[in-house]
């Protein structure tokens, strides 16, 4: 049996869980989420925990996945998820205008990024962007979309990078003379 699938999900006191046949609805202080459960997997409430159960070994591949998705939803509505990014480069910066973030990333024009529903973005010091939300997948996707506006350059280390991310710096062309 799946080790992750067997692990119970602790449900905090402030989180309300509704178990339907094909989905699990989770509601808490940070918002509401609904997770679609694959066929053959069901959830049961056992005291203060949720437990994922499967009908047969044919659902083995989805057992741990379904449990992890529901556990992320419970954590998201209780605590939320946060990703931090740094903008590195001379003249590179960001600012919030309404429900959009406007980036100056060395292009001939500013890049406007609309903030999706369920996500909050804050900008500190014009070079530090924080993406906050209850849905772990959505927070990660928005972070990846912002990073794709100007990925880190391996030669000059300029661009948008996730805070704490280590980049391999490549050496440029050293020792090559012009006209040789």
Helix axes 136-147, 60-78, angle to 10 degrees: 80
User: Which DSSP state fits 11?
Assistant: -
| Predicted TM-score (pTM) above 0.95 | no
Per the rule left: phi > 0, alpha: psi between -120 and 50, beta: everything else, 95 is beta
> Under a CB-based contact definition with an 8 Å cutoff, are residues 4 and 64 in contact?
yes
Q: φ and ψ at 116, to 5 degrees?
A: -70, 160
Per-residue pLDDT of the chain (180 residues; tens, 9 = 90+): 468 888 899 999 889 999 988 899 999 998 899 999 988 898 889 889 989 888 888 888 888 899 999 999 999 999 999 999 999 888 899 999 999 999 998 889 999 999 999 899 999 988 899 999 999 999 999 999 999 998 888 888 888 888 887 777 888 777 666 655
Fold agreement (3-78, 81-162):
yes
Closest CA to 60 of 22, 21, 3: 3
**pLDDT at residue 175, rounded to an integer:** 60
If one looks up domain 3-78 in CATH, what number appears?
A: 3.90.930.12
Query: According to the model, what pLDDT value does residue 179 have?
Result: 58
Domain boundaries, the chain: 3-78, 81-162
pLDDT number for residue 1: 46
- Number of Cβ atoms within 10 Å of the Cβ of 161: 19
Farthest CA pair distance, the chain = 77
The pLDDT assigned to 180 comes to 53
The answer regarding whether domain 81-162 maps to CATH 3.90.930.12 reads yes
């Amino acid at each position: 049996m799946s080790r992750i699938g067997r692990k119970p999900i602790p449900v905090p006191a402030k989180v309300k869980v509704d178990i339907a046949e094909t989905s699990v609805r989770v509601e808490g202080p940070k918002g509401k989420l609904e997770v679609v459960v694959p066929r053959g997997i069901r959830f049961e409430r056992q005291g203060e925990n949720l437990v994922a159960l499967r009908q047969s070994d044919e659902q083995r591949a989805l057992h741990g996945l379904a449990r992890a998705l529901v556990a992320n939803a419970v954590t998201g509505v209780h605590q939320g998820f946060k990703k931090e990014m740094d903008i590195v480069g001379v003249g590179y910066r960001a600012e919030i205008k309404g429900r959009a973030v406007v980036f100056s990333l060395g292009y001939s024009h500013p890049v406007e990024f609309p903030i999706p529903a369920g996500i909050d973005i804050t900008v500190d010091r014009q070079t530090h962007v924080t993406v906050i939300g209850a849905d772990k997948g959505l927070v990660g996707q928005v972070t990846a979309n912002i990073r794709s506006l100007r990925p880190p350059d391996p030669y000059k280390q300029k661009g948008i990078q996730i805070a704490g991310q280590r980049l391999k710096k490549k050496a440029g062309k050293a020792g090559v003379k012009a006209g040789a």
